[in-house]
Structure 1
Amino acid sequence: MSTALLGCQTDPDPATAQLRKEGRSPAYVEGYKDGCQSGYFAAGDPKFKLVRDATRFNYDTQYVQGWNVGFSACKAKQQGPAG
């Protein structure tokens, strides 16, 4: 459970640091990071890729919640304001 490993990956969104400060679980933060990267990809940014741990998505509710929030937030940021 080393946080040093988190530094090896680039956060697609600085919100993950804020999530940690808020006391979100490591699983939630990891899900948010994966979902955010996937959201940027879904919005058409080729610098990102679809990332989702299929096994964790089936059993880890914290990962799933983080992934869904990250996906929605980052996809919306990439697409900009609607209308």
Structure 2
Amino acid sequence: MRLTAAIFLVFTMMGCAATGQGQRASGPLPPSTRPAYNLTGYSPAFKDGYIDGCETAKKTSYGFKDERRFSAESQYRMGWNDGFGVCRGKR
């Protein structure tokens, strides 16, 4: 009986533990976790911006705007704006 109670208590406590699911760390995600888009022929900065802009428009957990790159890199800025505009219209 005590063993059953102890096991039940352990599982109950494990169920209450918060793992931070649904919360995204600040900053860009590693390439392996980013959504895949077919942007063949575009620069890496444009691709990064497009994915970030599109995911921001779709309000997913992958949405992110790298303010430093947005202000410094024209390709990233153009990609972000294009991705945001295209994906905003798909709702």
Q: TM-score range by the shorter chain?
A: 0.5 to 0.7
For residues 31-50 of structure 1, the aligned pairs below 5 Å read 31-41=49-59, 47-48=60-61, 50=63
Instruction: Provide the identity percentage.
Output: 35
Q: What CA distance in whole angstroms lies between the structure 2 residues aligned with 1:74 and 1:48? A: 15
After superposition, the CA RMSD in angstroms is 1.7
The number of residue pairs the alignment matches comes to: 62
Q: Tell me which of 27, 39, 52 is aligned to 2:65.
A: 52
Gaps of 5+ in 1: 42-46
Task: Provide runs of 4+ in structure 1 moved above 6 Å.
Answer: none
Gaps of 5+ in 2: 1-29
Instruction: Please name the residue that 1:69 is paired with.
Output: 82
Choose between structure 1 and 2: higher helix proportion. Answer: 1
Quick check: which has more Rg, 1 or 2?
2
TM-score of the aligned structures, taking structure 2 as reference length: 0.60
